[in-house]
């Protein structure tokens, strides 16, 4: 982390967990347990939980995010939710390109790029996920994969947008598996992403962009991961569902 150059962001990704009726109290619990946080605290929740989450977060430091959006502004896309709809609800962040969306819902680098543009257009802050599969790591092509994902994701995106963009490096083999990348592996790939931003834009943009690590980050391993210079926070799945664990991770970001 480097507090002087960029914001540290700890974001929970609830995935398809917790009921709308549980959401208000849980967000209040997170807010009170992370009251003195020095970093940005975000909870990304299912669409149907957003109203309750936004309501509970009012007057607190907790920011609310969605887990997905559609890239079209409106129209005949049954079951989908647009960026403008999220913004209208009071949502601030949106996760884009999570590996589960890529794996189960056929999202590609190209749809990720369209979703980033749509989110920015509506005034939402995208948390853009990139990361390699286990086979790709074993083949020694992590750098190529993550660089390609980053380049396609940000094609046509102006550097002025980067004050609102967060990138999450999430090795797919570490998500929900209990297998965490070592802090050196996390640092190495976050640095690769930063170097790509430098190549695409400039050093100031690269150094100023928040790059999180995500993949089985928990109350025990967070501190070591977050101590790395290029790791500016975490995207937390499982551990974000337990407020004590999530609060411990927030604390580790200090």
Interface with ligand PEP (CB under 6 A): 13, 15, 98, 170, 175-176, 214-217, 235-239
Least Å from the CB of residue 158 to ligand PEP: 27
**CA distances (Å), origin 25, targets 11, 18, 20, 174, 238:** 18, 11, 10, 30, 18
Beta-carbon contacts of 134 under 8 Å, excluding residues fewer than 6 positions away, are 172, 173
Of 70 and 101, nearer to ligand PEP (C-beta) is 101
> Which is the catalytic residue, given 40, 67, 70, 98?
98
Of 13 and 243, nearer to ligand PEP (C-beta) is 13
**C-alpha span between 14 and 90 (Å, rounded):** 18
DSSP string over 18-59: S-HHHHHHHHHHHHHHTTT-SSEEEEEE-GGGHHHHHHHHTT
Residue whose structure tokens are 């540290």? 8
DSSP string over 66-119: ES--BSSSSSS-TT--BHHHHHHHT--EEEES-HHHHHHS---HHHHHHHHHHH
- b/e sequence 192-208, b meaning 16+ C-beta within 10 Å: bbbbbbeebbeeebbeb
Of 57 and 174, nearer to ligand PEP (C-beta) is 174
> Which is the catalytic residue, given 100, 107, 170, 187?
170
* Position closest to ligand PEP via CB: 237
Q: Is position 170 annotated as part of the catalytic site?
A: yes
Beta-carbon contacts of 140 under 8 Å, excluding residues fewer than 6 positions away, are none
Least Å from the CB of residue 124 to ligand PEP: 18
**C-alpha span between 65 and 223 (Å, rounded):** 24
Least Å from the CB of residue 28 to ligand PEP: 22
Least Å from the CB of residue 202 to ligand PEP: 29
Phi and psi dihedrals of 227, rounded to 5? Answer: -75, -15
Of 109 and 121, nearer to ligand PEP (C-beta) is 109
Helix axes 243-252, 20-33, angle to 10 degrees: 40
Least Å from the CB of residue 235 to ligand PEP: 5
Of 172 and 201, nearer to ligand PEP (C-beta) is 172
Q: Is position 98 annotated as part of the catalytic site?
A: yes
Least Å from the CB of residue 201 to ligand PEP: 25
Of 38 and 179, nearer to ligand PEP (C-beta) is 179
Q: Enumerate the active-site residues.
A: 98, 170
């Amino acid at each position: 982390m480097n507090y002087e150059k960029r914001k540290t962001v700890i974001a929970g990704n609830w995935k398809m967990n917790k009921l709308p009726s549980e959401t208000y109290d849980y967000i209040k619990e997170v807010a009170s347990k992370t009251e003195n946080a020095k970093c940005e605290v975000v909870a990304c929740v299912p669409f149907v939980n957003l109203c309750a989450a936004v309501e509970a977060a009012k007057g607190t430091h907790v920011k609310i995010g969605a887990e997905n959006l559609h890239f079209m502004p409106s129209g005949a896309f049954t079951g989908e939710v647009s960026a403008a709809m999220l913004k209208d609800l009071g949502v601030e962040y949106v996760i884009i390109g999570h590996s589960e969306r890529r794996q189960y819902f056929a999202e590609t680098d190209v749809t990720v790029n369209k979703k980033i543009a749509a989110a920015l257009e509506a005034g939402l802050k995208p948390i853009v996920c990139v990361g390699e599969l286990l086979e790709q790591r074993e083949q020694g092509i992590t750098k190529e994969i993550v660089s390609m994902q980053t380049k396609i994701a940000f094609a046509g995106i102006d550097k002025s947008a980067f004050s609102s963009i967060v990138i999450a490096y999430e090795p797919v083999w570490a998500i929900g598996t209990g297998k965490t990348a070592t802090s050196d592996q996390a640092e190495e790939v976050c640095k690769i992403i930063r170097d790509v931003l430098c190549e695409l834009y400039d050093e100031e943009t690269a150094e100023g962009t928040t790059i999180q690590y995500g993949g089985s980050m928990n109350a025990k391993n967070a501190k070591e991961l977050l101590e790395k210079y290029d790791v500016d926070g975490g995207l937390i799945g499982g551990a974000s569902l337990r407020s004590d664990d999530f609060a411990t991770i927030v604390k580790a970001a200090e």
